Structure 1
Amino acid sequence: MRDVLVLYYSTHGATRQLAQLIARGIESVPGAQARLRTVPRISTVCEAVEATIPDSGAPYVELADLTECIAVALGSPTRFGNMAAPLKYFLDGTVNDWLSGTLAGKPACVFTSTGSMHGGNETTLLSMMLPLLHHGMVIVGTPYTEPLLSTTTSGGTPYGPSHIAGPESRLPISEAEKQLAILQGRRLAEIALKLAVPR
């Protein structure tokens, strides 16, 4: 089995649910398994605000996860059209991986959740692609050959899966959003296995 890293930050749980759906898609591909990881919250006053091990959910990511996995799915809620600070903080700490080319040639996809239909889903997805491109990763989007992309009235973009959570983050993930996330996970795993260097 080859691992695909599903790395996310989630505040109200919607991005975590998308991560779990993407993981389901990854694990539908023979030979692939999802490795779910998250990042801790950060503080503007530089004091510890999280335990070293999360109380529940996915473990915190370690730099070794980047080396050991054959692909990365990266998810964040939208923050003013950009990724959330905790995820950006982790990515800012991957300079040594950039210098050594740890991620070069590996496929990656991105996903997000936001409070409104025009709340910056696509710009957030694009902002997450930038560090991945600097790492030399191969970006895997959602092609329009997937009919759901043209018919969804909720989230879903060619840049990656998305969810519209509503202003109070209470809207459930729609059926179209679920299916697009699962399909994205499957697509990422299939491409990752084709590109992976044999062990």
Structure 2
Amino acid sequence: MAAAEQHYILPRPTFDKPVKILIVVSPYYKDIADNMIAGAKAEIDACGATYDIVEVPGALEIPTAIGIAERMSNFDGYVALGCVIRGETTHYETVCNDSSRALQLLGLQGLCIGNGILTVETRKQAEVRADPADQNKGGGAAAAALHLVALTRKWGASRKGVGFVPAQDEYQIAGTSKGTPTA
């Protein structure tokens, strides 16, 4: 296997107020999940943030758990960790595509999510990517979530609730101010 290409890594963000992250993990491949959790925890600790961890059965449940947590708790960001290894059926494509799409939709609604769901061909690929001393994809997912939290704090206050906000509640519409009834 060729060595991984070197790439630029952003400096760690700094925070003036506490940051609380939820790590949502599917431990389907427990050893791989444990390595990813170790990488994520180390990155979160290095930024001075705190975290909770919740386990779900599989990668498809990760976005749902994040959506529930966003509606019912007070986390600043989320780290999605899991592993999908290609098998003999099309289930691989369904799990990969749907979990990724759901996380992306949550992110587009304003949630700060680092996607660390590995989608690989072989167990060996997963082991290399999960290893905190090698590719450390768990740490990378945590870093992504922390950078998004920093960006959110830079640009404004967080808003609660998952789902699209009706336009009249979010934007000025043809001469009316935000919050003004449109008849």
Structure 2 length normalisation: TM-score? 0.48
- Greater C-alpha Rg: 2
More helix by share: 2
